[in-house]
Amino acid sequence: MLLTCTWEDTLEVPIFQVDAFTERQFAGNPAAVLLLDKYPSDSVLQMIAEENNLSESAFLVSDQGDYRIRWFTPTTEVPLCGHATLASAAVVLEKLEPGRKSVVFHSASGPLEVSRSEFGYAMDFPMRVSAPVAVPEELIRALGVVPVEVQADRFNYLVLLENAQSVRSLAPDIAGIARLDRGGVIVTAAGDQGFDIVSRYFAPAKGIPEDPVTGGAHCALMPYWTGRLGKTRLDAFQASRRGGILHCRLNGDRVELAGHCAFYFTGRATIDLLSESTVDF
């Protein structure tokens, strides 16, 4: 048996775990935020995200007063993530540069500005427009219910159910959702308990069976619901087990998503960068 490893370098970097879209710990959506001098290889970033074992890890690199940002689930890199961006803004504005009022993150989805808000932090994200589609039979089987309506964009199915209780009590076949031809399924209905809308989000194909709170999903939910409800400001609740609150506003082709954050821990991660590995059994 031959086992040979050589190590190029070791990183010791600040790491934060932040619960996003909540005012208290152990609710909302937890994200890891790591501050780097530069990006290592994609494989290293993916291994870190898998080790963190959270729905998203955000990796920040300072860039001329702004920050570059990348997001990884435990299994893949994604082009946009709301809760990890909100968590990253909390890290910058509360821990790294507490005198700042806003920060811009440069991402695969373009520049994303986050500012202090009466609701914590407000993000400016691109809108995602969906269109009606025929209801796929495999989607009905995976959800275990017949939707009122189904729309889709290139990322997700958006499924309307009869009422908020149907969303809250849904127990889908996660393996069935993973086999669909979209990366995830947004399930939604008109709100209850004082909220305009409720939703849940399932993305097992991206390593996230159910995401606790999903900013990106609300980039699609906002244009979907504003015409139906006749207003551009909505209070949304994502009805996962942890739950989370989003204060949303549609502004042209942009969506403002606002919410609070709660810090869980601050520390340092020591990361060995593996440059070569040979295993022969």
Report the C-alpha gap between 172 and 53 in whole angstroms.
22
Q: Compute φ and ψ for 88, nearest 5 degrees.
A: -65, -40
Which residues lie below 8 Å from residue 165, measured CB to CB, with a gap of 6+? 192
Structural tokens at position 227: 């015409």
Which residues lie below 8 Å from residue 31, measured CB to CB, with a gap of 6+? 17, 18, 20, 54, 55, 56, 57, 58, 81, 83, 84, 86, 87, 88
Which residues lie below 8 Å from residue 225, measured CB to CB, with a gap of 6+? 188, 196, 197, 234
Cβ neighbours, 10 Å, residue 132: 10
Is-catalytic flag, 51?
A: no
Amino acid at position 10, single letter? T
Q: Which residue is catalytic, options 8, 23, 56, 149? A: 56
* Catalytically active residues, by annotation: 56
